[in-house]
Amino acid sequence: MRIYDIIEKKRDGLKLTKEEIDFFVQEYTKENIEDYQASALLMAIFINGMDEEETVNLTESMARSGNMLDLSAIEGITADKHSTGGVGDKTSLVVAPICASLGIKMAKMSGRGLGHTGGTIDKLESIDGYNTSIDTESFINQVNDIGIALIGQTGNLAPADKKIYALRNSTGTVDSIPLICASIMSKKLALNADCLLLDVKWGSGAFMKTPEDAERLGALMEKVGNAAGKKCRAIITDMNTPLGCCIGNSLEIKEAVELLQGKVKGRLYDICIELTANMLELAGKGTISECTAMAQEAIASGKALDILKKTIEMQGGNGNVCDDTSLLPQAKYSHVIYAPFDVEIVSVNAEELGMASLLLGAGRISKDEEIDYAAGIVLEFELGDKISMDAPLMTLYSDTVSDFSEAALRAYHAVGFRTLTEGALT
Ligand code: URA
């Protein structure tokens, strides 16, 4: 078999066989195929697409390119949750402890943030002492002991994805539904949990810009998961506006803790409950309405917060942040943006706020950049709120950037106002 013939076949819009896909994935992982030929094939896939069978074969081959975890030593139903990435998305920090508090074994490996999107691992590492890189044996033992472990990718899981993703990032081939599906699902299949809940986001802050594309990606990921014998469900959620009011690593831990303390309601709370109820139902815990009530009760009783605290402590972190969020990193510098007139908030661009937060140091543009854990943005409004002139709209924080001019301009322009007539707010 020759990679040249496989490239030509996909270039001409033909369907690749399982053997051809496997040849590409395994040989590229072993560095027997050059980057320029892999790039050509990825671009042909980007342009001509892949059907469902090709995508299943690509995903399974990528999942088999390294170790497949064996979670059979974990007693009970194992579950994993994945978000396709967003701004202010701290739902894993809420959903996983709630599910664990209700008896599901949450074996969760998460990623780091890149660009304007955040990653759960960076958020957890903002907690003093928290260790996200524990070995597979300790991971499995912890899930057995307390029902949950929240760690970064361990072992040699789906190495094909690491290589292919890096190449896609530098060849303009990221935004392809079959390639995104194979990238996400190969890591999930290698992790091998019984149930998988996928939060597929659409909107300005997400990879998928329309709900139709998010539906397409979600349906494809469900099919790939089911083909591998997993219980898999995709929920489509809106990422045009940030989730909750905090963007940035320690700020998002604070908001997740406050939600589990019962202090946060609104869209973030509702999405967390919806995701949790679907995970519980998928794992056979009851109907959606029964599972919704269980999720709400786990927050109200404090059981889910206790589990988060235990998780942090088991992984070497300061669990007291669950009682006192001022123990989280605090920024040296801050800057408040005020409403210029009496205004109604008519739009909020999540991607632009994510970029402003990145400028403050909360994210990274390239993989190896350091993160400022205290940096980020706290919004003082929700979409549709009316704000008086000179009242605060948002506060920007940073430990590393003292000149806020660029980030503040970007954050200000991320908010769409309707100016209210004089006296409308009095
Ligand atoms: N997240 C991934 O892991 N892969 C993609 O291709 C996109 C988002």
Tell me the per-residue pLDDT of 270-299, one tens digit each, with 9 for 90 and over.
Answer: 999 999 999 999 999 999 999 999 999 999
Residue 252 banded pLDDT, cuts 50, 70, 90 = very high
* Ligand 1 center–CA 176 separation, angstroms: 10
The 10s digit of each residue's pLDDT in 361-378 is 998 877 677 899 999 999
pLDDT of residue 110: 86
Of residues 346 and 174, more confidently modeled:
346
Four-residue CA torsion sign, 114, 118, 120, 121 = positive
Backbone angles phi, psi at 166, to 5 degrees: -60, -40
SS3 of 164, please?
A: helix
Four-residue CA torsion sign, 142, 295, 86, 196 = positive
Residue 423 banded pLDDT, cuts 50, 70, 90 = low
Nearest-angstrom CA–CA distance, 17 and 22: 9
Q: At residue 16, does pLDDT exceed 70?
A: yes
**Ligand 1 pocket mutation, candidates 55, 80, 165, criterion most atoms within 8 A of CB:** 165
Nearest-angstrom CA–CA distance, 72 and 167: 34
DSSP 8-state assignment for residue 111? -
Report the candidate in 312, 383, 389 with the shortest Cα–Cα distance to residue 353: 383
Does any ligand 1 atom lie closer than 6 A to the CB of residue 113? no
Q: At residue 190, does pLDDT exceed 80?
A: yes
* pTM for this model (two decimals): 0.92
The 10s digit of each residue's pLDDT in 193-224 is 999 999 999 998 888 999 999 999 999 999 99
pLDDT of residue 86: 85
User: String of b and e for 176-211 (b: at least 16 CB within 10 Å)?
Assistant: bbbbbbbbbbbbbbbbbbbbbbbbbbbbbbbbbbee
* Ligand 1 center–CA 180 separation, angstroms: 5
The question of whether 323 is a catalytic residue gets the answer no
The 10s digit of each residue's pLDDT in 311-339 is 999 999 999 999 999 999 999 999 999 99
Does any ligand 1 atom lie closer than 6 A to the CB of residue 153? no
Q: Please, are residues 383 and 348 in contact by the beta-carbon 8 Å criterion?
A: yes
Mean pLDDT for the chain overall: 94
Nearest-angstrom CA–CA distance, 282 and 126: 31
Nearest alpha carbon, ligand 1 atom 7: 180
Q: Please, are residues 357 and 378 in contact by the beta-carbon 8 Å criterion?
A: no
Of the residues 81, 82, 201, 335, only one is catalytic, namely 82
Give kind and range of the element (H or E) at residue 394.
strand 392-398
Q: Please, are residues 382 and 267 in contact by the beta-carbon 8 Å criterion?
A: yes
Does any ligand 1 atom lie closer than 6 A to the CB of residue 207? yes
* Token duo for residue 119: 């990653």
The 10s digit of each residue's pLDDT in 122-136 is 999 999 999 999 999
Nearest-angstrom CA–CA distance, 404 and 356: 10
Nearest alpha carbon, ligand 1 atom 2: 184
Report the candidate in 311, 99, 268, 294 with the shortest Cα–Cα distance to residue 195: 99
pLDDT of residue 37: 97
